[in-house]
Amino acid sequence: MKYSAQKGTKDILPSEIHNWQRAEKIFAEVCHSFGYEEIRIPTFEQTDLFARGVGDTTDVVTKEMYTFEDKGGRSITLRPEGTAGVVRSFIENGMTSLPLPVRMFYNITAFRYEKMQKGRYREFHQFGLESFGAKGPDIDAEIISVVDVFFKKMGLKNIGLHINSIGCPNCRNEYNKLLKDYFRPHLAEMCEDCQARFEKNPLRMIDCKIDGGKDVVKNAPRLIDHLCDECKEHFEGLKARLEAIGIEYTIDPNIVRGLDYYTRTVFEFVSENVGTQGTICGGGRYDGLVGLMDGPETPGIGFAMGVERLLLEAEAQGVLEEKPSYVRIYIASMSENARIEALKLCNKLRLEGIGCETDMAGRSFKAQMKYAGKSGVPFLAVIGDDELANGEVKIKDMAEHTETPVKLDDFVEYCSQNIV
Ligand code: ATP
Ligand code: MG
């Protein structure tokens, strides 16, 4: 039987992993520089956590969750995103009594039963962060700034920041009434999902994937024009801070975000390169979520970035890096005694943190040289009985085609100074 990876899943191969590791490292460093610390949450949670935390009118919950019953009869769901689990952990582990804001970042796999396309998978990766306990627009600007600094450190350009405010429950209630009056006469021409949203959560009709392009949706009243005074002030505060830090943005009244728990600030970073799946990062404020999950009322804000999309964008912008040569030197051997000496040298080199390789496959000397040439290793040393007798080997720089004689006793020191 021939096996293949499940639809929507992908192997990340040794030939490409260095770019993942680089992005992970840069993301962690940038988060640390803002005072965020890493949290690791479980891959699965009770289904109800997502139904409540993500919102049971969202596509994620109604259509995309990997839900199953475990052997104990519990309904379990593979996390479709990170926020709900982080909020659960924040409450469960008593972090609500820590000095605020509590800042955490994560690097997770997420699972959604979706139609496969470029930049859209069933198992994918997200970098994200959450910040709890800060109410004002400073923290909104801070987390946007994390993304901005991260993109800069990755060497990425032209990823547009789109911001919007979706208000608070107060202004949203008023607005929902307005929206229902507006959509009521058009309801018959809208999709089935929108007809359901009309009763439950009319705001979601604005980002419908089916009806979104229609004039009736485009011309709908905009929440941004109906914010209450506090929400308006918060949004103005955010804009002023972004301008002060020098982060460009456009206001996009159509961003409502897929998830129900957002309040006030919502934002997306969207690629301006054609051919990649648009939104690389999405986030926003969720002041009601901790309370909704039975924690003490605590404002919160966060974002999640799709790592596959990030790397597709990095590829499109030509900022992916060459694979580094972890193995710096290959030690070829011409005799049994030389094999032993090569092993000993390798052992010493590795203790010094220098990557090296010697023959493990029982290759002839000629085949070892061929292997070394093909492997792209930057340095080569050859040991035979003559070298053992003289106590000296030649280290060849494969790119420069130069050879340097080095005493066996000085081998490790020479390597640590010249080949790393
Ligand atoms: P989309 O509108 O593209 O479906 P979303 O609103 O469902 O995105 P979020 O839930 O906000 O996305 O997730 C944050 C980020 O995670 C997205 O901006 C995207 O980069 C990434 N992402 C979401 N779903 C997938 C997926 N199925 N495959 C790969 N990346 C994804
Ligand atoms: Mg989606």
Which atom of ligand 1 has the smallest separation from the CA of 114? 27
pLDDT of residue 382: 97
Distance 413 CA to ligand 1 centre (A): 50
Which atom of ligand 1 has the smallest separation from the CA of 60? 7
Q: Is the CB of 281 under 6 A from ligand 1?
A: yes
Write out the DSSP string of 344-382.
Answer: HHHHHHHHTT--EEE--S---HHHHHHHHHHHT-SEEEE
d(CA 163, CA 143): 13
Distances in Å between the Cα of 337 and the Cα atoms of 344, 365, 369 are 11, 13, 18
Distances in Å between the Cα of 353 and the Cα atoms of 47, 328, 341, 377, 378 are 46, 10, 19, 16, 16
Query: What are residue 265's phi and psi, to 5 degrees?
Result: -65, 130
Percent of the chain with pLDDT over 90: 81
Q: Residues 143-152: what's their mean pLDDT?
A: 98
Question: Is residue 353 packed enough to be buried (19+ CB in 10 Å), middle (13-18) or exposed (0-12)?
Answer: exposed
Most confident among 208-212, 231-235, 277-281 (mean pLDDT): 231-235
pLDDT tens-digit map of 51-91: 998 888 788 998 999 999 999 999 999 999 999 999 999 99
Average pLDDT, the chain: 94
d(CA 367, CA 316): 39
Q: Is the CB of 309 under 6 A from ligand 1?
A: yes
Please say if the pLDDT value at position 367 is more than 90: yes
What is the crossing angle of helices 47-54 and 83-92, to 10°?
Answer: 110
Going by CA atoms, what residue is nearest to atom 14 of ligand 1?
304
pLDDT tens-digit map of 10-29: 999 999 999 999 999 999 99
pLDDT of residue 32: 98
Which atom of ligand 1 has the smallest separation from the CA of 304? 14
Going by CA atoms, what residue is nearest to atom 9 of ligand 1?
282
Please say if the pLDDT value at position 175 is more than 70: yes
Q: Residues 202-221: what's their mean pLDDT?
A: 84
Q: Residues 193-203: what's their mean pLDDT?
A: 86
Q: Is the CB of 125 under 6 A from ligand 1?
A: no
CA 238 to chain centre: 24
Please say if the pLDDT value at position 274 is more than 70: no
Distance 192 CA to ligand 2 centre (A): 18
Distances in Å between the Cα of 30 and the Cα atoms of 104, 143, 306 are 12, 11, 17
Q: Is the CB of 338 under 6 A from ligand 1?
A: no
d(CA 356, CA 300): 48
pLDDT tens-digit map of 108-126: 999 999 998 889 999 999 9
Q: Residues 255-281: what's their mean pLDDT?
A: 82
Top mutation candidate among 116, 124, 210 for ligand 1, by most atoms within 8 Å of CB = 124
Ligand number with the minimum distance to the CA of 84: 1
Tokens at 263, concatenated: 């309040």
pLDDT of residue 260: 67
pLDDT of residue 277: 62
pTM: 0.93
**Is the distance from CB of 149 to CB of 30 less than 8 angstroms?**
yes
Tokens 């009322």 found at: 297
